[in-house]
Chains A and B, each alone.
Chain A
């Protein structure tokens, strides 16, 4: 019987305690952050969308090589000796036209491994984290500052220069070969290099027995 009254008292008492707790919480300021209107400040080293400052890029491929998921693809073209591409903000001389600098941000794993090797600190993480797209191809970010005609122009000029150089080189080589031939005519020819025995093929591996069901 005492148990019965004790139970009733306890239930009434605990209900009152519970109501007191909820009533207090009713007037506690809510912890909700109303996201699109109010945003939390991101931590200083938050890693979100990548950004490349092309003015400072020297096309060194360090970021491309560091990327563990290969989301950065770069193409460079050598500049002509007559062209001056200027210097980066860190004072390095730019020697290459960067004709392609694409980051597939859909592949990016936000590891920031590309950020650290950059010699000019031109690739970095920003605090932008809202870049959803309806089409996956829109997530391939194109950072090149050159326009497509400029790129073809740069490539054409580089190819011409290369050809010119190759022609020059061929001419030089021909001249050198001529000189060499003239010299060789005086000296006896070299003996042919001695050939060693070819290594024996490794024996074919024994066929794997069919797997038994255990």
Chain B
């Protein structure tokens, strides 16, 4: 795709801008759609209907109406807030989650940046989100915001460890951090996917990654940073209008990013499950987005199933369960590869 763009645009800067905007073209409609899906899924899980009126068919235009409302809303900044940090925080959060998309291969023909340390880059850059959340909580000058931000920081920092270790199991198998290469190694039928190799070690690593990624995206049951029953809304309590919308967009972008990483590393990414059938770059994008959306829906499913964890339970899960089990997975994979 980069070569094609180069031949058309004949200007490096334009090529980079277009390449950088391609994931956004997916993320914004996806976020609108996913918010609507989340409301419908939550409603139907509770035997309700959810939005039904806006736009006619099952309220499909509800989130479009919502975003129009958010655009028109007054941007309220608390008088005692740190104005600069308050303004910058939502953008930093979004940059953190959007930057991860630079190294995620959407298809065999499109990856923002085909770097050799892709996975390492993603894990590193998604930590910027914590900085943004802390900034938001601190600058709001609100105790709920600060409590939420601190919880969020503690949570994300703790859960990065099992996340990274679980991903290392796949990295050991693949022998590379380049996500495009990892994808190519899983080509063929679905039993070539890493999740089915070295069973059950990689499978357990996948479960550990998925659970830890829920915590990293602040999704239920790990949503204590924005626990609405205790902290109003956590770090974005004092945000309104478009700044709030950007936090929301960042959350959904993050959900898709972790789902995309899960599907890339464990479920073959843009590979078709049926060998060469429905292969190729365009079908590749289809398979990749389908797998990503599947995990997004699973995240929603979990959200509307499980209640919120307590802080001590959260730390227990991270340090006493996920981390040792992730180490066990690496050991298992390593031992299997040696003998």
Contacts and interface: CB of A to CB of B under 8 A. Distances in A.
Contacts of A21: 305
A8 B328 CA distance: 15
B47 A22 contact: no
A22 B221 CA distance: 15
B306 A32 contact: no
B67 interface: no
Interface in A18-35: 18-19, 21-23, 25-32, 34
Interface string A23-67: 101111111101000000000000000000000000000000000
Looking at chain A's contact residues, the main secondary structure is helix
B117 interface: no
Nearest to A8: B321
A163 B58 CA distance: 72
Contacts of B304: 22
Contacts of B320: 4
Nearest to B40: A26
B48 interface: yes
B71 interface: no
A21 B46 CA distance: 10
A15 interface: yes
Contacts of B45: 22, 25-26
Nearest to B302: A19
B41 interface: yes
Contacts of B43: 30
Contacts of A18: 305-306
A25 B48 CA distance: 10
Instruction: Classify chain B's interface size.
Output: 10 to 19
Contacts of B52: 34
B49 interface: yes
Contacts of A28: 44, 47
B47 A25 contact: yes
B286 interface: no
Interface in B1-58: 41, 43-49, 52
A32 B49 CA distance: 6
Contacts of B302: 15, 19
A29 B51 CA distance: 15
B319 to A, nearest CB: 13
B44 A26 contact: yes
A15 B306 contact: yes
Nearest to B43: A30
B301 interface: yes
B301 A19 contact: yes
B62 to A, nearest CB: 15
A23 B321 contact: no
Nearest to B324: A4
Contacts of A31: 47-48
A26 B46 CA distance: 7
Contacts of A32: 47-49
A30 B301 contact: no
Contacts of A4: 320
Nearest to B53: A34
B49 A23 contact: no
With most chain B CB atoms within 10 A of its CB, the pick from A27, A30, A34 is A30
A23 B47 contact: no
B49 A30 contact: yes
B321 to A, nearest CB: 6
Contacts of B321: 8
Contact of A23 (B46, B48, B301, B306): B301
Contacts of B306: 15, 18
B220 to A, nearest CB: 12
A81 to B, nearest CB: 63
A172 to B, nearest CB: 76
6 nearest A-B pairs in the assembled complex, by CB-CB distance: A18-B305, A32-B49, A22-B305, A22-B45, A30-B49, A26-B44
8 contacts: A15-B302, A23-B301, A26-B45, A27-B44, A29-B47, A30-B49, A31-B47, A34-B52
Given A25-B47, A30-B47, A30-B48, 10 more contacts: A4-B320, A8-B321, A15-B302, A15-B306, A22-B304, A23-B301, A25-B44, A25-B46, A30-B44, A32-B48
